Amino acid sequence: MAKKSTGGKSAKIALSVIISFILLIMLITSAAIGVFWTELAAIRNIEQIDDYGFFVMEYKRDYNLDHLLSVGASSDQELIDYIVKQIFKGIPIKIDMSDYACTTFNSVTAEGEYLFARNFDWEYSPSLMVWTAPDNGYASISMVNLGFLAYAKDYLPDKYFNRFLTLAAPYVPVDGMNEAGLAIGVLYLEAEPTAQDTGKIGLTTTTMIRLVLDKAATVAEAIALFEAYDMHDSAGACYHYQIADATGASVIIEYIDNEMTLIYPEHNDGNAVDFQMAANFFITPDVSDIDLGIERYTAVKDALTASNGLTTKEEAMALLQEVRLDNYIEESGFINDTQWSAVYDLTNRTLNICIGMNYETIYSFAIDSPMQIK
């Protein structure tokens, strides 16, 4: 009697193995999707605006700031560890913040619209405007240098599965404005990093910016938040901050020998607003410094003094253009260019922004409709 052929059986076994493998992959994928469902949903809301590498993101998940405020993060590594645990479910990431040169100032329009203007100067990097709206805080738009999150010209969040690292964006803003009309910007200083140790919960540079945007409506409230935590500067550098609000108030916060110092604008009855400006040197008197950016600071001061603090939004942008950095080479060889110029309208809660020194193209956004270009 002839043997029964086993070809059909072998084919069925092979097919079963393939099906089992496919089911296993589907099971693993389904489990991963279940674990990261809110994260995968969050990164859907990203749009690329231009070819330079400017993106906007509507961030629709909880980034657990209140929990961080209860436990603190006194170093960049502690912040990274927190983000890895709370947002990335244990998947390691890297955040790399280095020094950057910048300029800020506040002014007012003839119509009484208070403005906060800011240049962010760094080596080429893509950028992200991230909108957040926490349940127990203010909605805000803030600017993130995506270079801090390992993005670059040849690696952008333009594809869905390249966007995972943007989930850390709420924790690395360098400037922004909230729905109460309060704005903040951070600027680099040539000094030893601030490392307070008074027994308060510690926060790093960009976490403090996130806290101010989420919780402060006025300059006074922002100052109170700075006072409530020990400051630990990021990236082995030192920083100061300009903060302005919708009443026209402004302050610059610096740390001298780990002590917080407040610098307010000089009052002049002839000015339309008490204005001030900052670059990359200490404003506090009698502090030894190299006056990095003094020429930018002086140009802004001269312009605002001549106008008594009055500018249109267009004039504020033109002043940012005047003090931009274009292929500025530091002694270390590091090349700085102005990556974005932002004019925040604190009265109307809108943002005008130019990317990569393209001052012919101005993008306009509003906090109440962040994904729509005006």
* pLDDT tens profile 289-305: 999 999 999 999 999 99
Whole-number pLDDT of residue 16:
37
Q: Is residue 371 part of a domain?
A: no
Range of the domain at 18: 11-41
- Residue 149 and residue 125 in one domain: yes
Whole-number pLDDT of residue 35:
56
- Residue 23 and residue 164 in one domain: no
- Residue 77 and residue 170 in one domain: yes
**Could you give the number of structural domains in the chain?**
2
In angstroms, the CA 65 to CA 192 distance is 27
Token representation of residue 199: 């027994």
- Residue 103 and residue 20 in one domain: no
Whole-number pLDDT of residue 288:
87
Whole-number pLDDT of residue 168:
95
The pTM is what?
A: 0.90
Q: Is residue 1 part of a domain?
A: no
- Residue 95 and residue 164 in one domain: yes
Q: Is residue 224 part of a domain?
A: yes
C-alpha distances out from residue 286 to 189, 252, 256, Å: 15, 16, 11
Whole-number pLDDT of residue 332:
72
Whole-number pLDDT of residue 294:
96
Question: What's the burial of 374, exposed, middle or buried (CB within 10 Å: 0-12/13-18/19+)?
Answer: exposed
- Residue 157 and residue 243 in one domain: yes
- Residue 149 and residue 17 in one domain: no
Whole-number pLDDT of residue 122:
93
Straight-line distance from the first to the last Cα atom of the chain, in angstroms, rounded to the nearest whole number: 84
Q: Is residue 216 part of a domain?
A: yes
Whole-number pLDDT of residue 18:
54
* Low pLDDT (below 50) residues in the chain: 1-6, 9, 12-13, 15-17, 19-28, 30-31
Q: Is residue 263 part of a domain?
A: yes
- Residue 56 and residue 34 in one domain: no
Q: Is residue 3 part of a domain?
A: no
